[in-house]
Amino acid sequence: MYPQISQISQIIGQGVKPRSFRILREWGIVVFGPPPHILIDAVSPTDLRQAARSIVHGWAPRLLTNANWVEADGYHSYIILTLCRILYTIETGAVGSKRTSVEWARTALTNPWLDLIERAWLVRQTWHQRQPGAISLLAGQSDVTNAFIRYALEQG
């Protein structure tokens, strides 16, 4: 007999997130035992939306009070694309990859967010080719990024 979701939650502790269960249930790879969907209850779109709102309200305000994150180009891109994923989940009730979220944003959002998201996506796609000292595609975008963070907070 395998443990059920309530037992797994107790074993793992309070850090368990509905999003993590959804990913594990839908895309988990079986090494031994039954498929994850046998052990893990379905996570509702409402629970995923609530989890996304909780994440944005717990994380985004800290970004607005600490401007140092803009100095790190990769982290700047990570923030923008992660906020895009959060907005995707709030809107659709589903979990999507960064790519899926960017594709969604191209039809659901407008400028200045689209330009910012496209820049962040390009930074992510070309990160391995980056030359030391190269000027970032996100240079000078801190005000727009802060506005995007506030927008995500409003949507959440």
Q: What is the pLDDT of residue 82?
A: 94
Residues 60 and 121 in one domain: yes
CB 19 within 8 A of CB 89: yes
Which range of 19-33, 36-50, 55-69, 106-120 scores highest in mean pLDDT? It is 106-120
Residues 70 and 147 in one domain: yes
User: Percentage of residues in the chain with pLDDT exceeding 90?
Assistant: 35
Residues 61 and 127 in one domain: yes
Give the separation between CA 9 and CA 25, rounded to whole angstroms: 14
Helix, coil or strand: residue 141: coil
Q: What is the pLDDT of residue 151?
A: 96
Residues 91 and 17 in one domain: no
Q: What is the pLDDT of residue 90?
A: 96
Residues 30 and 77 in one domain: no
Tens of pLDDT, residue by residue over 74-121, are: 788 899 999 999 999 999 999 889 999 999 999 999 989 999 999 999
Residues 145 and 119 in one domain: yes
Residues 30 and 106 in one domain: no
Residues 10 and 78 in one domain: no
CB 2 within 8 A of CB 39: yes
Pick 40 or 147 by higher pLDDT.
147
Question: For 26-33, which contacts have Cβ atoms below 8 Å and span 24 or more sequence positions?
Answer: 26/95, 33/2
**Domain range for 113:** 44-155
Phi, psi at 86, each rounded to 5° = -65, -45
Tens of pLDDT, residue by residue over 8-21, are: 444 444 444 665 56
Residues 17 and 93 in one domain: no
Residues 87 and 134 in one domain: yes
Give the separation between CA 156 and CA 49, rounded to whole angstroms: 9
Residues 92 and 148 in one domain: yes
Residues 28 and 68 in one domain: no
- CB burial readout 79-98, b (16+ within 10 A) else e: bbbbbbbbbbbbbbbebeeb
Number of domain units in the chain: 2
